[in-house]
Amino acid sequence: MNEPVLVLNANYEPLHVCSTRRALGLLVAGKAEMLVNGRGYVRTVRLAIPRPSVIRLGYMVKRPRPRVRLTKREIFRRDNYTCQYCGARLMRLTIDHLVPRHRGGDHSWANLVAACPSCNLRKGGRTVQEAHMSLLRLPREPAPSALYLFAPHLNDNTAWQPYLQGW
Ligand SMILES: [Zn+2]
């Protein structure tokens, strides 16, 4: 009953993942419809209740656009595992602060980029301008697609793929 169920908004936008138990509650209460079964049935003495894999809410949920957590891993992912100075694509990347911390540079999407160890060393404690270096592109907070956000579930739930595309 704890298998994940993809919950879509009334307009089909993927919202979040809930448990089968919670999804069945929404279905029984008439608050959602089942779009994909895919998990067989929950059998009681008299009934066989389909176990949902994807459900859609009957009403619109308003919520802010989801954000990607600012972590080292997500910065590398945003920068396509590529040094943002020389373009080298390697496993052993470091994080560079465009404006160094001791100069007031903050921990933000706009101030952090992936850099290879030699570019990071070359830049040192200077700003990009002072070091006479240039960036491949200006860093900013990534806008996550549904495929990006729900990627960790996709291996076990391939039926979700069409519902995630384009969001
Ligand atoms: Zn480099």
What distance in angstroms lies between residue 149's CA and the mean position of ligand 1's atoms? 28
What distance in angstroms lies between residue 104's CA and the mean position of ligand 1's atoms? 23
What's the mean pLDDT in 23-39? 92
Per-residue pLDDT, 107: 96
What distance in angstroms lies between residue 151's CA and the mean position of ligand 1's atoms? 29
Per-residue pLDDT, 39: 81
CA dihedral sign, ordered 113, 119, 121, 124 = negative
Mind listing the pLDDT tens digit for each residue in 75-102? 998 999 999 999 999 989 999 999 999 9
DSSP conformation class of 16: E
What does the block give as tokens for 129?
A: 């301008």
Mind listing the pLDDT tens digit for each residue in 124-157? 999 999 999 999 999 999 888 899 889 889 999 9
Per-residue pLDDT, 66: 83
- Residue written as token pair 């919520």: 63
Name residues with Cβ closer than 5 Å to ligand 1, which is an ion.
83, 85-86, 88, 116, 119
pLDDT at 50 over 90: no
Per-residue pLDDT, 140: 95
Percent of the chain residues past pLDDT 70, beyond the cut: 100
Contact 23, 57 (CB under 8 A): no
What distance in angstroms lies between residue 69's CA and the mean position of ligand 1's atoms? 24
pLDDT at 44 over 80: no
Contact 33, 27 (CB under 8 A): yes
Per-residue pLDDT, 2: 80
Pairing of β 14-19 and β 4-8 = antiparallel
Contact 128, 97 (CB under 8 A): no
What distance in angstroms lies between residue 119's CA and the mean position of ligand 1's atoms? 4
pLDDT at 28 over 80: yes
